[in-house]
């Protein structure tokens, strides 16, 4: 089993991970990019990108950073603002 990937017995992906995946998906669509283009730019597999976007996998900080750079967004784009 590869590190950073969810196994069948692992706990469900968190709401934060689902939210991050949704934001990646939306930004990718706004740019008009197919999954393979973002995956290549972020140096991740298309399969893993699909799992992230569909809320089926968590993404490690280093990979999220590469995705953020590929999408030309700040890391803060993926996280809710602190309203306190």
Residue 4 placed within a domain? no
pLDDT tops 80 at residue 84? no
13-50 residue pLDDT tens: 889 999 999 999 999 999 999 999 999 999 999 999 99
Q: How many domains does the chain have?
A: 1
Q: What's the chain's Rg over C-alpha atoms? A: 13
**What is the average pLDDT value for the chain, to the nearest integer?**
88
Closest listed residue to residue 25, CA positions, set 56, 3, 2: 56
For residue 82, what pLDDT band results from cuts at 50, 70 and 90? low
Indicate the range of 11-15, 56-60, 74-78 predicted with least confidence.
11-15
Mutual orientation of helices 35-42 and 15-31 as an angle, nearest 10°? 110
**Longest Cα–Cα distance in the chain:** 40
Residue 1 placed within a domain? no
Give me the CATH number covering residue 46: 1.10.260.40
For residue 9, what pLDDT band results from cuts at 50, 70 and 90? very low
């Amino acid at each position: 089993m590869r590190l950073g990937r969810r196994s069948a017995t692992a706990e469900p992906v968190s709401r934060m991970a689902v939210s991050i995946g949704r934001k990646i998906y939306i930004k990718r669509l706004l740019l008009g990019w197919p999954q393979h283009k973002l995956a290549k730019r972020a140096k991740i597999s298309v399969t893993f990108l699909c799992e992230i976007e569909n809320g089926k996998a968590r993404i490690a900080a280093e990979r999220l950073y590469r995705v953020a750079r590929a999408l030309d967004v700040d890391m803060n784009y993926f996280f809710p603002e602190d309203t306190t």
